[in-house]
Structure formats: C-alpha cells, structure tokens
A and B are shown apart, each in its own frame.
Chain A
Amino acid sequence: GAVVSQHPSRVICKSGTSVKIECRSLDFQATTMFWYRQFPKQSLMLMATSNEGSKATYEQGVEKDKFLINHASLTLSTLTVTSAHPEDSSFYICSAHPPNTVLDEQFFGPGTRLTVL
C-alpha cells in the first residue's frame, strides 16, 4: 500500500518556540493531506485539510495563525505550531490518499509526539 512518513517522530521544545512537522507521501502524489491531533486516550480530531497550491481549510476552533500549514508540493505538507505552549503537547498525525481514491482508505503517517515544556 501507499506510504506516508512524518518527521520528526518526537520533538521536545520550550514554551514559546515554534515547531515544524513534515508529512510526506513517499510513493504517490497527494493534492490533499489531512492533519489530526490526538490527546491520550482520545480520538483523532481533524485540525485542517491541507490543499496543494492553495490555503488550508481549518476545522472550527482551530487557530489558523497558530497552526500554520503549507502544502508546498504534491508530496509534502508541513504543520508549524507557532509559539507552542504546554497545552499544545499532543500526538500529531497526518494522512493522505492517492489520486482518484478519495472514497477509499486513507494512509496515515506514524505520528509526531510533541512535548512542550
């Protein structure tokens, strides 16, 4: 199946700093990628839809100025958590699907564990 990678897998940062997380589709092109956040023992919550060549679409309650998304190419989307605070500590996961398979399975990255001190 298709492979989605994320980098880094873990990151620890100080409060107030910014952190960038990369999501790559390794063997297919993705015009759309999704970013989720998951707190311990909770479900995946969709944060935003990343669209190649255009602005991301954010879910209600997600601050677009805090969570910057850039879909620079058909294989790369980045999520930047700006001025991170301890409450932003979470597990961030991206997903994508190959072209013309929007109604089929999505392929998820392995996730990035963010810890803000």
Chain B
Amino acid sequence: SQKIEQNSEALNIQEGKTATLTCNYTNYSPAYLQWYRQDPGRGPVFLLLIRENEKEKRKERLKVTFDTTLKQSLFHITASQPADSATYLCALLIYNQGGKLIFGQGTELSVKP
C-alpha cells in the first residue's frame, strides 16, 4: 500500500534562516505531490503542487523539489518568519481516483524571533 512519511520531529529554527522539510514515499509513483499548511484547530491550506515531470517549483519564499528516483520531496521556506510557524503536510494525489489524497503525518515548524 502507499506510504508517505515526514520527519515527525518538530523543526525549530531562527527567524531569517531557511527551513527544509522532507517527505518520502514508498510503493507508489505519484503523478502529483502537494504541500499544505495546517494551523492548530484548522483545516489544511494548499501551498504548492509539483508534478511528476517537474523537478522544482517556486512560489514567493517557498520552493519544492521532487526527486522520483529517491522518492522524495523537499519543501523549503527561505527567510523564515515567526508567522511561518505551523504544521506542514505533504500529500500524494492518487491518479485516476477522483482527487484522493494520502497525507503524511506532518512536520511541525517553529520559527523563533
């Protein structure tokens, strides 16, 4: 079965530094991988999507890479700010199943001023 893993340990970094989060998957070659942000007690909010044939995607201070050989995606936040503190989830989009997503357990990021 499909399995997706994120570093379960919380990531603590200093403001201004780059945060790098890891997402690894097994047993499946996804067509799309998505990253979401979730604040406590709220639903996830979409951040970025990267396709199987793309190696990198950027949006403002966010960057996502996708290595289908390593079965890994990296999520970077440059010039991090305390407001970036949240839990970040990666998700595999299951192709041909109507948009079904399988989520990793999330990595909690804390940016200290």
| A interface residue numbers (CB < 8 A to B) | 1, 4, 6, 32, 34, 36, 42-46, 49, 91, 93, 95, 97, 102-111, 113
Interface of chain B, main secondary structure? loop
Enumerate 20 A-B pairs (CB-CB under 8 Å) in ascending A order. A1-B46, A32-B98, A32-B99, A34-B100, A34-B101, A43-B104, A43-B105, A44-B101, A46-B100, A46-B101, A49-B100, A93-B43, A93-B44, A97-B99, A103-B99, A105-B49, A106-B46, A108-B43, A108-B45, A110-B43
Interface of chain A, main secondary structure? strand
What residues of chain A lie closer than 8 Å to B46, measured between beta carbons?
A: 1, 105-107
For chain B, which range describes its interface: under 10, 10 to 19, 20 to 34, or 35 or more residues? 20 to 34
The answer to whether A106 and B99 have CB atoms under 8 Å apart is yes
The answer to whether A111 and B43 have CB atoms under 8 Å apart is yes
What residues of chain A lie closer than 8 Å to B104, measured between beta carbons?
A: 43
What residues of chain A lie closer than 8 Å to B97, measured between beta carbons?
A: 49
Closest A-B pairs by Cβ, 6 of them: A108-B43, A105-B46, A43-B105, A102-B99, A43-B103, A44-B103
A6 CA / B43 CA spacing, docked (Å): 10
For residue B79, CB closer than 8 A to chain A, the reply is no
